[in-house]
Chains A and B, each alone.
Chain A
Amino acid sequence: MNRQQAQDLIESILEIPREGELQVLLNGVHRLGTRFNDCAISQNVLRQQTTLTLSARLEQKKTSLSINTLDDQALIKRSIEQAFAFCRHMPDDEEVMPAPGEVLESHEYAYSTESEAIEIETVGAWAAEACRAGAAADIDLAGLLAHGKTFSAYGDSAGGFAYEGSHRSDYHVTATGNNGSGWAEHQGVTIGQDNVMTATRSAIEKCARAQHPEVFEPRPVTVILEPQAVGDLMAMAFWYGFDQRARDEGRSAFSDYDATLGHQSFYSDPADPVFPTVSFSSGGQALVRTVWLESGKLQQLLTSRYWASKNNLAVKPAPNNLVLTGDGTPLEELVRSTDDGILVTRFWYIRPTDARTLGFTGMTRDGTYRIENGEVTHPVVDMRWNESVLKVLDHVVASGKPVATGEFMAMAMPALKIEDFHFTSLSN
């Protein structure tokens, strides 16, 4: 649905008589997903759907209702009536806020004309080429090549409107040999065959270097995390820990915490050149560059409109991307400057272990290597770790250049060199 079509539909919905305030959100997706394993395509799907969400407000009462049948005006009218019927039965909630009513500029930072041309057959051909590269190397190759476009449109009865189209590509690939595996990815708003093959070759090369891993007895040690591992950890830390209200109410790792967290800066910016995103929230609020940590010093936390108004704070809505700055040190140099350490390609299954200290656990996978005297000497058996993100950030001693990563959220993350990282047990 283009901007005009979305605007026409939203306007027609807002013209339907109703008893209170209405917010309308349209989310459309058209996404191909080609999955392969053992160098053959195993799944190939196209998902296309548009969801209409109607949020009804009567003073301090609010409900929402979603449908995915958009060509039936009578159904939409009934759905609006139903949303308000639910709303009447809601108890009052002082935290309900009126619609923002803002008309937002359409930036379309994440829209790619180049991506429009990618067809089903194109994606299949690229996946097949990757499979052939795996077969030629006598390695099992498994991965997902997904590509699609989305649009988001928002309108409200207070006059607000926003629309943006965007693209998103996700290629990640695991190469598995007889006794070890390697992994690589390409994330971004667009993708080409060169991106697919570069990641494929990287996974195959990592796999070759991962064969016959040796046991490294788990202990605290210097670790170099590649961008995927950094992104997985920072995303978990952000969503579990960066909330202003929780901090103010004593329910956060940042409650009564004033120390500087290392020297990195951590921010969100829909216009980020490495991994741009849609520039407004599902609630019709503009998303702008927001700095969470400036040189390690806490600057902002997520702040809802209600909490901001009650405490005279700036509103900080949930972002669509996360960026961690780096000092640009090449990975090779990070390794060269490490006498005793571990190089990690990828983290897996990170979960919180202690909210008070922002503690997490997780595993390494698909390419974990020993660093001795400035060189990668051999692969090591995967390990579990238990660590506090507060400590991790404080122990960063060098970093790379941010690159696009994140299957579930757009992120630009550098490799990090971290001292005294706690590995606790062995995996396979």
Chain B
Amino acid sequence: MFDLLKFACNIADKAGCQFADARYLEIRKQRVVSRDLALSSCSDRDDRGFGVRVLYRGAWGFASSPTYSADEIEKVVALAIRIARASALALREDGVNWAPEPALSLDFKSSCKYNPFTVTLEDKADLLISANEIMLKNKTVKRAQGFLSFKQVKRWYANTEGAELYSDVTSSESAIWAIAVGNEDFQERNWKAPATNQGFECYQKEEFVKQAERVAAEAEEKLSARLSPEGEFDIITDSENLSLTIHESVGHATELDRVMGYEVSMAGSSFVTRDKQREFQYGSDQVTLMADNTLENGLATQGFDDDGVPGQRWEIVRDGIFQTYSSGREFAHYIGEERSRGSCRADHWSSIPIVRIPNLFLMPGKTPLSPEELMADVGHGIYFEGMDSFSIDQWRLNFQFGGNAVWEIKNGRKAGMLKAALYQSRTPTFWNACDATCDENYWQSHGITNCGKGDPMQVAQMTHGAAPTRFRNIRICRGRDS
């Protein structure tokens, strides 16, 4: 596979390109969807092709093709250079400052005990439909659904610096959900099985059945929940809920390309300007947020990024103080760093790499603390579990999140479910209101598989994690008028 990629790099080099890289990808995807007692769809996709990126006279060009042959390689390299010439019509004054990286030869394979593509469709149907059967036993549940989604990406990468990198990453994702109808309302409750760089081994029928019972019962309970109060309350988030808040208010906010204005017209910029590095009080001293693209089974753990830089681990926030950003080779120099953080990824062979959120998580508390103890210190508060409505402004400051299930807390205990509760805050206000997070025994990870960024939009995946965490005096509002 590397021969044609090196051929592409050689052509680009001879044509005078300052840098070029070529990626060939073989992508296999399968998605099985259940609706009540049937599978509503099973779709399989085989997608392969290559992309060539060139830096020619200070301008970028990129072209791609599904036809992997020497003739096509020559055409695509020529096309990429032609596109770079068009880019040169509006050159960046200070040019492209490309961070150096040793030319590595590296193979990476994610853990996969049971190849999901060889598991029979009957076994997949059994998992999903068994869960649906359980959920439908609850008479308020009028619709039970679920899906299993698998992806395997084989990636070959070469560049004009001599790198030869290969990865083979299998990821799996699943969820089930129930929609209950009654009391002149309808409510949805879900359970997300692990989304992870693993195979079918992470899904067991017993767990699906157990979760299905809980999901159906809580969907029914949501129907008779009272509308959330409004005002300021202490809140507790479970690890899944906080994972999305970490993603939106820390992950995107600390992407260096956003900070430098490269995403202004679509995804937006960031309030975390460069002057804040190593000074800004992002959160309380309880808040240490770690990036780790070597995290075992993390969705962003892929061996190396699409700039050819190996996965790394670094602190985004340490004891509340902002440290540094996620970056790619084009961006490291903007903050005086000599090396990229290796967090530049493309979602397809026909896409250009952009800075993406790494695996990113809130470190667990250093002293023993259980969820019960965490809640015991709340007089009147609200507990958010799972992911629901989420929205944040283009500076990653003003945000509003819901929960898939929300409970009122009174005198340190759960005191009934709430409907339409939303917490609304500004990023530094929120993280500085964090006064405790549970210890490592309660830390869990959650995969995000639909992170949209770029223009045209690209979709990336990464893993977040946290233990149940408490925030004081957070504004609560409602998504429904009383």
Contacts and interface: CB of A to CB of B under 8 A. Distances in A.
User: Do these two chains interact?
Assistant: yes
Interface of A: 31, 33-51, 62-69, 71, 79, 82-83, 86, 89-95, 120-121, 123-125, 127-128, 131-132, 140, 142-144, 146, 172-174, 176, 181, 183, 249-252, 255-256, 348-357, 359, 361-363, 365, 382, 384, 386, 388, 408, 424-428
Q: Which of B65, B181, B264, B351 has the most CB of A within 10 A?
A: B264
A63 B89 contact: no
Given A42-B262, A63-B43, A251 B86 contact: no
Interface stretch (B90-98, B275-283, B367-375): B90-98
A89 B455 contact: no
B424 A384 contact: yes
A92 B393 CA distance: 45
A382 B398 CA distance: 10
A144 B266 contact: yes
Contacts of A82: 44
A140 B64 CA distance: 30
A363 B396 CA distance: 11
Contacts of B266: 144, 172
Contacts of A250: 142, 181, 186
Given A142-B261, A249-B181, A251-B179, A120 B42 contact: no
A37 B90 contact: no
Contacts of B242: none
Given A89-B122, A174-B264, A251 B38 contact: no
7 contacts: A37-B262, A38-B261, A40-B90, A68-B66, A93-B38, A181-B264, A348-B394
Contacts of B265: 35, 37, 142-144, 172-174, 183
Interface string B61-98: 11111110000000000010011111111111100000
A424 B393 contact: no
Given A40-B92, A354-B420, A66 B393 contact: no
A131 B350 CA distance: 26
Contact of B424 (A69, A255, A424): A424
B269 to A, nearest CB: 8
Interface of B: 35, 37-49, 59-67, 79, 82-93, 120-122, 125, 129, 142-143, 179, 181, 184-186, 188, 261-266, 268, 271, 350-352, 389-395, 397-398, 400, 402, 420, 422, 424, 455-457, 475, 477-481
Contacts of B89: 41, 124-125, 127-128
Contacts of A384: 391, 393, 398, 400, 424
Contact of B39 (A93, A172, A424): A93
A36 B456 CA distance: 12
Contacts of A424: 424, 477
Nearest to A47: B350
Nearest to A249: B142
Given A71-B67, A93-B35, A349-B394, 18 more contacts: A33-B456, A34-B86, A44-B84, A47-B350, A63-B41, A64-B41, A65-B44, A89-B121, A89-B125, A124-B89, A144-B455, A181-B264, A249-B142, A349-B391, A349-B392, A353-B422, A384-B400, A425-B400
Given A46-B83, A176-B264, A427-B393, A355 B188 contact: yes
Contacts of B352: 43, 45
A365 B45 CA distance: 38
Contacts of B389: 351-353, 361
Contacts of A356: 185-186, 480
A62 B391 CA distance: 37
Contacts of A71: 67
Q: Which of B48, B67, B121, B263 has the most CB of A within 10 A?
A: B121
A172 B186 CA distance: 38
A46 to B, nearest CB: 5
Contact of B480 (A35, A354, A365): A354
A49 B87 CA distance: 22
Contacts of A351: 389-391
A110 B60 CA distance: 31
B395 A353 contact: no
B229 to A, nearest CB: 16
A386 B121 CA distance: 43
Contacts of A350: 391
Contacts of B35: 93, 95
Contact of A144 (B67, B351, B456, B479): B456
A425 B40 contact: no
Interface of A is mostly: strand
B261 A40 contact: no
Q: Which of B59, B271, B350 has the most CB of A within 10 A?
A: B350
B90 A425 contact: no
B479 A354 contact: yes
Top 4 A-B pairs, shortest CB-CB distance? A353-B479, A124-B86, A128-B89, A93-B38
Contact of B62 (A46, A121, A255): A46
B391 A43 contact: no
Given A120-B83, A249-B142, A251-B143, A91 B479 contact: no
B224 to A, nearest CB: 14
B461 to A, nearest CB: 20
Contacts of B271: 428
Given A68-B47, A69-B48, A91 B125 contact: yes
Contacts of B46: 65-69, 79
B86 A63 contact: no
B31 to A, nearest CB: 10
A95 B83 CA distance: 48
Contact of A44 (B86, B125, B263, B391): B86
A125 B475 CA distance: 49
A86 B395 CA distance: 46
A92 B39 CA distance: 8
Contacts of A47: 64, 350-351, 456
A43 B86 contact: no
Contacts of B179: 251
A64 B40 CA distance: 11
Q: Which of A38, A41, A174 has the most CB of B within 10 A?
A: A41
Contact of A131 (B37, B90, B398, B479): B90
A365 B393 contact: yes
Contact of A386 (B79, B188, B264, B479): B479
Nearest to A93: B38
A169 to B, nearest CB: 13
A284 B49 CA distance: 28
B233 to A, nearest CB: 16
B393 A348 contact: yes
B438 to A, nearest CB: 28
A41 B59 contact: yes
A352 B264 CA distance: 24
Contacts of B351: 45, 47
Nearest to A140: B261
B38 A86 contact: no
Contact of A66 (B41, B45, B90, B185): B45
A408 to B, nearest CB: 8
